[in-house]
Structure 1
Amino acid sequence: MIISSPYKRAIKSATPFAKTISKEIIKDERLSERVLSSKDHSNWLEMLEDSFTELDLCYPGGESSKQAMNRGITVIEDVLTCSSNHIMLVTHGNLMALMIKHFQPSFGFKQWHQLSNPDVYSLVFEDYIPKIQRIWID
């Protein structure tokens, strides 16, 4: 099963693998990119860093880290109830970082900043305990 953000670049990233394994890509709005603010800000990077520390911080027209994290986690909660053992989620760096942070609170702005594009992490639950590992090789 492949579930992706409906954004074109996410679908484009998922398509080669989907073709290889002959699976359809399921689009899910909950995996859409997080909007930090509805306005452009020259200090957006500083704003983003602050949002990793203050999870409830919400800029006008944007979404707090906690809101985005919860949105992404609902996808994981849903797929944990399905019968498929291997599920690929395709999302955007900021949301992915926040989803990882949910399970590994030490994952923060610094780790987000070190993500490559693309990047791949594995999330495996062993006895209900999440194990997260970066599996992308640059």
Structure 2
Amino acid sequence: MRTKVYFVRHAESIYMEGAERSRGISGQGKADARRVCEILIQEAIDCVMSSPYERAVQTVQELAAERGQEILLLEDMRERRIGDFPDGKFTEAKQRVFGDFRFSYPNGESSCTAQKRAVDVLLAILKDYRGQGIVIGTHGDIMTLMMNYFDDSYGFDFWKSTTMPDIYRLEFDEAALLTVTRMWS
């Protein structure tokens, strides 16, 4: 019995210092969230879950509303905190934490730590929702780290190639990843 997990990376969000949890999606993000709904409304979705961060919730909110479903918030699916890295070096900082899974910047979270907390939740979902279709509103780093757990070809280059929003359908047999299909274009 296959379980389908639809990772929905959040739509465009305007960065605001100190508003990591509360910043929502932009006007373009709202239009893209509508398109996310149009793409996924045809799928057999049994439940909608999300990181508690507003931008992730808003990206899957219309889909949940169309399906008459509540969004289950998953605290441990929150985005990884990158920490305090040198000014203007965001991409280099991301490359470093993906390149060395044990490294973390001050006040940040290593890839290893972030991956473990999110994968523990994902493995529980695969067990508890076996054979169902699950949408998870998520973020670029944490999505990549979860996918990397099952296939180490998902790393920095994959993260860099993703868009806001983005949709990936992962099919599992128990906890074995069978296929990954990008649904956003």
How does the TM-score come out when normalised to structure 1? Answer: 0.91
Which residue in the other structure is 1:10 paired with? Answer: 56
Which residue in the other structure is 2:4 paired with? Answer: none
Are 1:95 and 2:142 matched, yes or no?
Answer: yes
Which residue in the other structure is 1:134 paired with? Answer: 181
Does the CA-based 8 Å contact 1:39-1:61 persist in structure 2? no
Is the alpha carbon distance of 1:128 and 1:67 closer, same or farther for their aligned partners in structure 2, counting shifts above 3 Å? closer
Which residue in the other structure is 1:52 paired with? Answer: 98
Give the paired residue count.
Answer: 138
Correspondences of 1:1-138 after superposition (within 5 Å): 1-38=47-84, 41-83=87-129, 85-126=132-173, 128-138=175-185
Letter in 2 for 1:58: S
How high is the sequence identity, in percent, across the aligned residues?
Answer: 30
Does the CA-based 8 Å contact 1:121-1:133 persist in structure 2? yes
Compare relative contact order (CA 8 Å, sep 6+) and give the higher one, 1 or 2.
Answer: 2
The two structures, once aligned, show a CA RMSD in angstroms of 1.6
- Aligned-pair distance for 1:10? 0.7
Does the CA-based 8 Å contact 1:35-1:62 persist in structure 2? yes
CA–CA distance in structure 1, aligned partners of residues 74 and 129 of structure 2: 18
Does the CA-based 8 Å contact 2:85-2:93 persist in structure 1? no
How does the TM-score come out when normalised to structure 2? Answer: 0.69
Is the alpha carbon distance of 1:39 and 1:108 closer, same or farther for their aligned partners in structure 2, counting shifts above 3 Å? closer
- Three-state SS of the structure 2 residue aligned to 1:120 is strand
